[in-house]
Amino acid sequence: MNAVVNFQEVKQRFINADVDGKIQIYTTTQGLTVDQFKELLKHFPLQHLDKLERAMG
C-alpha cells in the first residue's frame, strides 16, 4: 500500500477524532516518520497536551 495515501488516511481520521480518539491514533499508529507525527500534532488541541504526554509515558 502507498505510504503517502496511508498517512493521509491516518491524518484524516486524526483530524476528525475527538481528543481521546486522537490520543489513541497517535499512540498506536506505527511506521510514521517524525515529520508525520509532527504533522498530526498540528491538529491536536494544545490544552490537552498533558493528557497526550501521560498516555505516552
Domain that holds residue 39: 3-56
**Could you tell me the mean pLDDT of each successive run of 10 residues in the chain, 57 residues long?**
76 98 96 96 97 95
Residue with cell 476528525: 16
Q: State how far the Cα of 12 lies from the Cα of 40, in Å rounded to an integer.
A: 9
pLDDT at 22: 98
pLDDT at 10: 97
pLDDT at 13: 97
Q: Into how many domains does the chain fold?
A: 1
CB 16 within 8 A of CB 44: no
> What pTM does this model have?
0.87
